Amino acid sequence: MDKVLIRQLRIDTVIGVYEWEKKIQQSLFLDLDMAWDNKAAAASDDYQYALCYETVSNRLTQLVTEKPIELIETVAERVAECVLNEFKVNWVKVVVMKPGAVPSAAAVGVEIERSR
């Protein structure tokens, strides 16, 4: 299976369950593995056959920042649903990391895999 990868996509947004979190922006970091057949793009060297990681990144930033979200689990599910439905990817792995959420950890996160 070919994959298109996005690593450490930083999205600053309102995220969290505590009242103080609902008043500030915090950073989330997203990693995505997206199943995509790269043969046509590679053979033709033609952008139209590629999964555009910039377009995906911009759309996910818009999605995550459009309204406050409490849980990173919700972020992961919405991101997976968006990638599967809007970009016609057949399988995606999404990792959402929230740095600083637990003082004794560099970051906490969730990882999900979804398919169509």
List 3, 22, 39, 98, catalytic entry: 98
Residue 24 CB neighbours (<10 A): 10
Examine the residue annotation and report whether 98 is marked as an active-site residue of this protein.
Answer: yes
C-alpha span between 40 and 85 (Å, rounded): 21
CA-based end-to-end distance of the chain = 15
Kindly list the catalytic residues: 98
